[in-house]
Amino acid sequence: MGRSPCCEKAHTNKGAWTKEEDDRLIAYIRAHGEGCWRSLPKAAGLLRCGKSCRLRWINYLRPDLKRGNFTEEEDELIIKLHSLLGNKWSLIAGRLPGRTDNEIKNYWNTHIRRKLLNRGIDPATHRPLNEPATAAATAADVTTISFTCATTAANNNNNKEEKEKKTIGFACKEEILHRQVQEERCPDLNLELRISPPSQSNQPVSISNQQLKTGGRSELCFACSLGLQNSKDCSCSINTIGGSSSASSTCYDFLGLKSGVLDYRSLEMK
DNA sequence: AAGATTGACAACCGCAGCGCC
DNA sequence: GGGCGCTGCGGTTGTCAATCT
């Protein structure tokens, strides 16, 4: 097929950004706003590709960024989120205001990995390093969780679902296992994780403890189940455009953003 | 003091998803 | 429905400073 390159590499700068380039980028975005990264460099008079401009802005120049060291609370929150989400740095960053996915990814690789290893915890599986192989393998499997139960009946031949199975999703059996693992790991951690299949209300699958209590509401999309009910990814029927309050309030509260369950300052870690 | 090694983090690369035509 | 372009994401690399030998 052959996609055109994102920029004319021969005429673009690479490497570290200069103060002047930063100033130009900031001035342009202040005047015109974010977006249209491909045409931005030319319009702003920068010899950079749009991708580079976007990265520079998002990771270092955005005014709402919180620079400086990570706090102990942030450390522990990252660990908890990583145990749930894996290397979904953008999702993790979304729970840490002022932090970027790149920053968190780097911090994880340089600090937290070592910290967990020092604690005798495998940073990939969040299980003890001396865990028997079978248990470790089980935990590793849990990091790749799927919609299998929710979708196999109706969507056996759905390629998209197959892809989701390979990436991230939640299966009923595996979800329960995941929750059990989570509880073992962090017995004091209450993330109010409520996951259910996307718009498969007639299938009694993926029932969390909370759902058992409430009768198992399950009409929400995957985005909603991740607490992204107002995101562009939300496709569930209850999240209508215009966002009636009843619709959005019906969505689950992954990680307790709305309910405040995930007030990490109140979380205790051993 | 100088070279080697390690650590931290900024930046790049390639791919996938999505929307538009 | 399929091609194309844009954007965002995650993995990897590059660079520089600090530390070690």
Q: What is the pLDDT of residue A152?
A: 35
Which residue's alpha carbon is at the shortest distance from the C1' of C13?
A: A15
Give the CA-to-C1' distance from A36 to B20 in angstroms. Answer: 15
CA distance A168 to A54: 26
Predicted confidence (pLDDT) at residue A90 exceeds the cutoff of 50 = yes
What is the tens place of the pLDDT at every residue in A112-144?
Answer: 888 888 888 888 888 887 765 444 444 444 433
CA distance A256 to A227: 8
Q: What is the pLDDT of residue A111?
A: 87
Q: Which nucleotide is nearest to A114 (CA to C1')?
A: B7
Question: Which two three-digit tokens encode residue A121?
Answer: 């915890």
Interval A86-90 mean pLDDT:
86
pTM: 0.60
CA distance A58 to A64: 10
Highest mean pLDDT (candidates A9-13, A75-79, A218-222): A75-79
Q: Which nucleotide is nearest to A85 (CA to C1')?
A: C10
State the pLDDT confidence band at A233, using cuts at 50, 70 and 90.
very low
